[in-house]
Amino acid sequence: MTALGVGVLGVGDIARNLYVPGIIESGRTGRELRLVGVSTRSPDGRAWMADRYPDIRVYDDYAAMLADPEIEMVVNLTPPTEHARTTLAAIRAGKHVFSEKPIATTIGDADEVIAAAAAAGVTVACAPVIGVHPEVRQAIEWIHRGAVGSVSMVRARASHPGPAWFPDFTTDPTWFYQPGSGPVLDVAVYPLHVLCLMLGPVQRVTALAATSHPRREIRSGPAKGEVVDVTTPDNVHMVLDFGDARLASIDATWNALSARGPRMEVYGDRGVLNMYSRPEDPPYELFIDDQSTGVRGWLQTEPPYRGSLMPVLGREPVRWSFIDGLEDVARSIAAGATPVPSAELARHILDICLSALRSAESGRVVELSTTFSRQGGA
């Protein structure tokens, strides 16, 4: 396939540390993506591009970038409150869009994005792309094929210390601590994507929320030493009902300085799938309880044995980044297929997040109003 011409909107931390260098590397090595230009109103962002990538076009005006005929897809890296507005502008300009999460901050705005994309005949996909990670795909397939039997319960972790704590953050993270962001919309989306691809749509949600640290000091970047007033909950615990007696719990906080436990555990009536989070750990382990044979215990999976003199495919750690996921989206666009991180899935994830926050405010279980279709081989 011909490399897809990409324009990046926003040159903050995630653009500098991931998307811009990753897309440039994809184009340099002849893969699916080619960076045409970026749009930023920040003098610091323009200086950063001029210093590192002087050959890439830099637009002060987003509309001018959208008018560039070489740009076929926009990667939207604006703050969450701007996602819907800027995505709609790209759609109206005839561009495909990959948006950072969330797709919008209201279900009405998400509906408008999806309807506009359908009318324009363009594709909208939304982060995270974790659902197409090879190891996550394998875990999802095992659950679909009944490796642990009938699933009844999942425990998942989505917490980290929060961006103000990061020692290498290069922009001002204040907006992460305001309404429209927070750990539910920023980090809970990762296990939610995996769970929805494993188990299907959520039917209802309940949650408890608190602000454990109402003021936080910024540790790095241009706002280093400043104190952020936290105006959205930083400590949220969610319980999800997938129907058919399948429940899941997720912690979504900015209160975990570190963690050594599994990222996710899926419990079935014949086994357990344990998904680790640290690079030095195996990506997953399976606990099998086979009453017919008496085999009961934990096992680590490995590729097929092909003899001591043959290379063992897959033995090395998987080299994968979110750019690989973005390339998967590009392949879906080229094939006319719906990407795994679809706009409909993103809308459902947004519905879960907003419903969890409403549940925490009201003290009631909240029924979800959206759904999605599992596709893309997930």
The yes-or-no verdict on residue 22 having pLDDT over 60 is yes
Amino acid type, 132: V
State whether the Cα torsion 64-66-72-75 is positive or negative: positive
Cα–Cα distances in angstroms (integers) from residue 1 to residues 28, 31, 228, 289, 307, in the given order: 15, 8, 46, 46, 36
The yes-or-no verdict on residue 119 having pLDDT over 80 is yes
The yes-or-no verdict on residue 85 having pLDDT over 90 is yes
Residue 254 forms part of a structural domain: yes
Residues 138 and 124 in one domain: no
> 140-161: per-residue pLDDT in tens?
999 999 999 999 999 999 999 9
The yes-or-no verdict on residue 266 having pLDDT over 70 is yes
Q: How far is CA 144 from the centre of its chain?
A: 21
Domain that holds residue 295: 134-314+343-367
Q: Which of 130, 148, 164 is the last residue of a domain?
A: 130
> 225-236: per-residue pLDDT in tens?
999 999 999 999
Q: Give every CB contact of residue 268 below 8 A, 6+ residues apart in sequence.
A: 143, 146, 147, 148, 149, 150, 151, 152
SS3 378: coil
Q: What is the pLDDT of residue 189?
A: 96
For 46, the enclosing helix (H) or strand (E) is helix 43-52
Residue 141 forms part of a structural domain: yes
Residues 176 and 212 in one domain: yes
Q: How far is CA 115 from the centre of its chain?
A: 22
Q: What is the pLDDT of residue 217?
A: 97
Q: What is the pLDDT of residue 313?
A: 46
Residues 145 and 115 in one domain: no
Give the up-direction half-sphere exposure of residue 260: CA atoms within 13 A in the CB hemisphere. 0
For the chain, the maximum distance between any two Cα atoms, rounded to a whole number of angstroms, is 67
Q: What is the pLDDT of residue 323?
A: 96
State how beta strands 4-9 and 33-39 pair: parallel
Q: Which of 64, 97, 130 is the last residue of a domain?
A: 130
Q: What is the pLDDT of residue 290?
A: 84
Q: What is the mean pLDDT of residues 304-330?
A: 71
Looking at the 3D structure of the chain, how many domains does it have?
Answer: 2
Q: What is the pLDDT of residue 283?
A: 84
The yes-or-no verdict on residue 308 having pLDDT over 80 is no
Q: What is the pLDDT of residue 277?
A: 74
pLDDT averaged over the chain?
Answer: 93
Q: Which of 115, 130, 145 is the last residue of a domain?
A: 130
The yes-or-no verdict on residue 171 having pLDDT over 80 is yes
The yes-or-no verdict on residue 312 having pLDDT over 70 is no
CATH of the domain at 348: 3.30.360.10
> 336-349: per-residue pLDDT in tens?
999 999 999 999 99
Residues 16 and 29 in one domain: yes
The pLDDT confidence band at residue 318, using thresholds 50, 70 and 90, is low
| Angular region, 176: left φ>0, alpha ψ -120 to 50, beta rest | alpha
The yes-or-no verdict on residue 215 having pLDDT over 50 is yes
> 218-262: per-residue pLDDT in tens?
999 999 999 999 999 999 999 999 999 999 999 999 999 998 889
Structural contact between residues 377 and 224, judged by C-beta atoms closer than 8 angstroms: no
Residue 331 forms part of a structural domain: no
The pLDDT confidence band at residue 306, using thresholds 50, 70 and 90, is low
The pLDDT confidence band at residue 307, using thresholds 50, 70 and 90, is low
Residue 377 forms part of a structural domain: no
